Amino acid sequence: MQKHSLRFQTILFAITRMVFNTAYRMIYPFLSVFSRGLGVDISTLSQALANRSLVGALGPFLAAIADRRGRKIGMLFGILLFIIGISVMILWPSFPSFVIMLTLTTLGKYGFDPSMQAYLGDRIPYERRGRTLAVTELGWSLSFIVGIPVVSFLIARRGWQSPFVSLAITGILIGGALLWYVPSDSPPRNKSTNIWRNFWDVLKYPPALAGLTVGLTASTANEAINLVFGVWMEDAFGLKIIALGGTAAVIGFAELGGETLVGAFVDRLGKVRAVTIGLLLNSLAALSFPLLGRNVAGAVVSLFLFYITFEFTLVSIIPMMTEIMPQSRATLMSFNVAALSLGRSLGDLVTPPLYNTWGIIACAGAVVLFNLVAILAMQWVGEK
C-alpha cells in the first residue's frame, strides 16, 4: 500500500479537523436556530454544550488507545465515533439524539486530535514542530471560513437538520483516506502500558500541571465570548441566519491569521513567550467589545481581534505542551485536550448568567480575569 509524504498527511489531518470542528462549532452561531428546531430554550442547549465539554475529561482514557495500539488506530477510532454520532442524529432527530451526537462526535474529536498531535510529535523535531502543528490547526479556522457558511446555506435552504447528512458522508470519505494514506505504526517501545502510571506521571509534574492550567483558563476566557456572540449579534443588531454565517466566516479568517502568525513566529519567539504575548493581546481585544461593539462594523472588528489573538495563543500552547513530557506525549496531549474542554464547560456554565444580567461587558471582564490566571500559571511552565 502506497503511503504519501508527511506533508500530504499533514494536509489530510487539517481537512479532517475542519470536518470535526465544523460539527463542533456550528452550534454557536446558530444557537437560536437549533434551540427552536429542537424545541428547547437556549439555557437548556447551553447546558447540553456544557455537558459536551465535560466529555473532554474522558480524553486521557482515549489516549491509551494511541499509546498502546498506535497513533493511526487512535485516529481511526476517533473518526468512527464521529460517524456514529452524526448517524444517530440523522436516524432519530430529537433533543436526546442531539445530546448523544454531541457526546460521540466530541469523543471522536478528542480521540483524533491527541493521536494526530502525538503522531507528528514523534516525527518532527521540536524546533520545527510549531509550524507543522499550525498547519493542522488550519482545520479550526477553515471550519468557520468554509464549514459554517456551508452549514448556514444548508439550514437556510433545507432546514436545521440538513447539515448532518453532509457531515456523515464527509466523515466516511475521510475515514477511508486515513485508512489508506496514513501508515500503520507501533507504540513507543519504552512506553509504559499502565494507563494509571501514565496519568500519575502527568499529575505529579508541576510544569505539566501549570501548562494544563493555562489551557483550562484560556479556553474558559474564550468561551465567555464564543458562546454568546451569535445571540449578542442577533439581539443587538437583528442579524439573520445568512448574516450570522458571514460573521462566522470573518471569525474564521481571524483564526486563520492567528494560525499563520504562529507558523511564522512561534518557533522564533519561543513557545512560552508566544503564549504569554497572546494572552495579553487577547485581554486587550476583549476590552474592545464595550468600546467598538455599538454597531455591526465595530462588533465585527472586535470579534476579529478577539479570535485572532486567541487562536495565536491556543496554537502556541500546543507545540509547547508536546515537549513538556516527551516520554508521555500522547497522554499529556490528551490531558491538554481535556483541560481545554473543561475550560469550555466552565465557560458554558458561567457565561449565560453573566450575559443575561450584565450583557457583553461582563463577558469581556470574565475574559480578562481568566487570562490573568493563565498568565500567572505560565510562570511555572518553564521555557520551552
User: Within a domain: residue 1?
Assistant: no
User: Within a domain: residue 189?
Assistant: no
Domain count, the chain: 1
> Residue 194 — pLDDT band, cuts 50, 70, 90?
low
Question: At residue 284, what is the residue type?
Answer: L
Contact between 226 and 347 under an 8 Å Cβ cutoff? The reply is yes
Based on its alpha-carbon atoms, the radius of gyration of the chain, rounded to whole angstroms, reads 19
**DSSP labels for 98-144?**
HHHHHHHHHHHHHHHHHHHHHHHHHHS-HHHHHHHHHHHTHHHHHII
215-243: pLDDT as tens digits: 999 999 999 998 888 788 777 677 666 66
> Residue 317 — pLDDT band, cuts 50, 70, 90?
very high
CATH number for position 115: 1.20.1250.20
pLDDT for 67 = 66
pLDDT for 55 = 76
pLDDT for 112 = 92
The number of CA neighbours under 13 Å toward the Cβ of 368 is 12
User: How far is CA 20 from each of CA 57, 88, 95, 297, 360, rounded to the nearest angstrom?
Assistant: 18, 16, 20, 30, 28
User: Within a domain: residue 109?
Assistant: yes
User: Within a domain: residue 175?
Assistant: yes
pLDDT for 2 = 41
10-36: pLDDT as tens digits: 999 999 999 999 999 888 778 888 888
Question: Does the global pTM surpass 0.85?
Answer: no
Q: What's CA 311's distance to the chain center, in Å?
A: 10
pLDDT for 1 = 36
Q: What's CA 253's distance to the chain center, in Å?
A: 16
pLDDT at 193 over 60: no
Question: At residue 74, what is the residue type?
Answer: G
Kindly state the cell numbers that stand for 232.
449578542
User: Within a domain: residue 317?
Assistant: yes
Question: At residue 350, what is the residue type?
Answer: V
Contact between 290 and 341 under an 8 Å Cβ cutoff? The reply is no
Tell me the C-alpha distance between 179 and 177, whole Å: 5
Question: At residue 299, what is the residue type?
Answer: A
Parent domain of 341: 6-183+194-380
Contact between 313 and 275 under an 8 Å Cβ cutoff? The reply is yes
User: Within a domain: residue 80?
Assistant: yes
Select the more confidently predicted residue: 17 or 54: 17
76-119: pLDDT as tens digits: 999 999 999 999 999 998 899 999 999 999 899 988 998 898 88
Select the more confidently predicted residue: 43 or 364: 364
pLDDT for 224 = 93
pLDDT at 6 over 90: no
pLDDT for 191 = 52
pLDDT for 192 = 52
Select the more confidently predicted residue: 42 or 62: 42
- CB atoms under 10 Å from CB of 80, counted, come to 16
pLDDT for 23 = 93
CA dihedral 47, 307, 19, 167 (to 10 degrees): 50
Tell me the C-alpha distance between 226 and 248, whole Å: 11
